[in-house]
Copies of this chain bind each other. A is one copy, B any other.
Amino acid sequence: MKIIKTLSEMKSYTAEKRREHQTIGFVPTMGYLHQGHLALMQAARKDCAVVIASIFVNPIQFGIGEDYEEYPRDLTRDGALAESVGVDAIFAPSVGEMYPKGYHTFVHVESLTDYLCGASRPGHFRGVTTVVAKLFNIIQPDLAYFGQKDAQQVTVIERMVEDLNMNVKIVRVPIVREEDGLAMSSRNVYLNPEERKQALVLSRSLAEAKSLVEKGERDAKVAKDRIRDMISQAPLARIDYIEIVDGRTMEPVEILRGKVLIALAVKFGKTRLIDNVLLEV
């Protein structure tokens, strides 16, 4: 497996693969890989002749006071994990390589980013869409893989790709969970044992809401209240948001109909966790 650190080397690597008519699959990550990331890489491995993963903790998607500096980094460990699932090359550029002096260009998806994490983290999605647009131009993948765990993120990226007529197909990969139900996240390492235990309420409350809807509930308020009641019983949980939105526009809905996303963000100590379930009602 190759580890590539410069733009020019990355561009020439993929240019060669394109000349050989090899399908390129791309998995952008911020590293500190877990089973969720590996599932993306495995999906790419199944579909594509060449699999490239990027590992880049993108400063412009972190807000002031967020965990950019502390975000866990371990390229040696990540390299071994990526290699174990058959990744061909890792792109791990420096911040200076991605945002040199005089950098001034940003890609922004409006409206969809006004809700959920976009409301809690101003500027976050602008940072995400900008770095993903850059990575798509550098790597020019045929397919790119994103986790349903970050449901708003993948929806925003699909919107960007469609709006800007980008030549890449976005593949959504289902959430990977720990055996007890906690959604995999690089941030889970921050949790102390008690927080880790109480964090189970997220997936459980979503499962309960899903079950309510399957039994016929269509009132968003009823479903959200049930989730809120359950989470409130975890004394360490501080709710950021519990929301039910249209799966495409991310706008809150009152009545569940069509594709809807039930999404939540909850803090345990300093650790902010997200989880969601996408339903076709």
Chain A 110-152 per-residue mask, 1 if CB under 8 angstroms from chain B, else 0: 1110000000000000000110011001101000000000000
CB of A104 closer than 8 Å to a CB of B: yes
Most buried by B among A102, A108, A165: A165
Stretch at the interface among A77-85, A156-164, A256-264: A156-164
B102/A109 in contact, CB under 8 A: no
A 75-106 to B, binary, CB cutoff 8 A, 1 in contact else 0: 00000000000000000000000000011111
5 further contact pairs, Cβ within 8 A, besides A105-B109, A107-B107: A104-B163, A105-B159, A105-B164, A137-B164, A137-B166
Q: Which of B108, B134, B140, B249 contacts A105 (CB 8 A)?
A: B108
Assembled-state Cα–Cα distance A115/B136 (Å): 30
- Give A15's nearest chain B residue, CB to CB: B167
A196 to chain B, nearest CB (A): 37
A134-B164, A138-B165, A165-B7 known; A112-B104 Cβ under 8 A: yes
20 contacts between A and B (CB under 8 A): A11-B167, A102-B159, A102-B248, A104-B109, A104-B112, A104-B163, A105-B109, A106-B107, A106-B108, A107-B107, A107-B108, A107-B133, A107-B164, A133-B164, A134-B163, A134-B164, A137-B164, A137-B166, A138-B165, A140-B167
Give the copy number: 2
Number of A residues near B (Cβ < 8 Å) is 29
> Which A residues contact B (CB, under 8 angstroms)?
7, 11, 102-112, 129-130, 133-134, 137-138, 140, 159-160, 163-167, 248-249
Closest to A98 in B: B165
How far, in Å, is A261 (CB) from chain B's closest CB? Answer: 16
* Chain B hits for A159, CB < 8 A: 102, 104-105
- Which residue of chain B has the shortest Cβ distance to A140 in the bound complex? B167
Q: Smallest CB–CB gap between A132 and chain B, Å?
A: 11
A60–B129 alpha-carbon span in the complex (Å): 20
Q: Are A163 and B105 in contact (CB under 8 A)?
A: yes
Q: Which of A105, A112, A138, A248 has the most B CB atoms < 10 Å from its CB?
A: A105
Q: A140-B167, A167-B137 are in contact. Are A105 and B160 (CB under 8 A)?
A: yes
For A7, the chain B residues whose CB sits under 8 A away are 165
A113, closest chain B residue (CB): B104
Q: Given the complex of chains A and B, what is the CA–CA distance between A102 and B167 in angstroms?
A: 19
Alpha-carbon distance between A160 and B130 when the two chains are bound, in angstroms: 11
Report the bound CA distance from A43 to B163 in whole Å: 30
CB distance from A159 to the nearest CB of B (A): 6
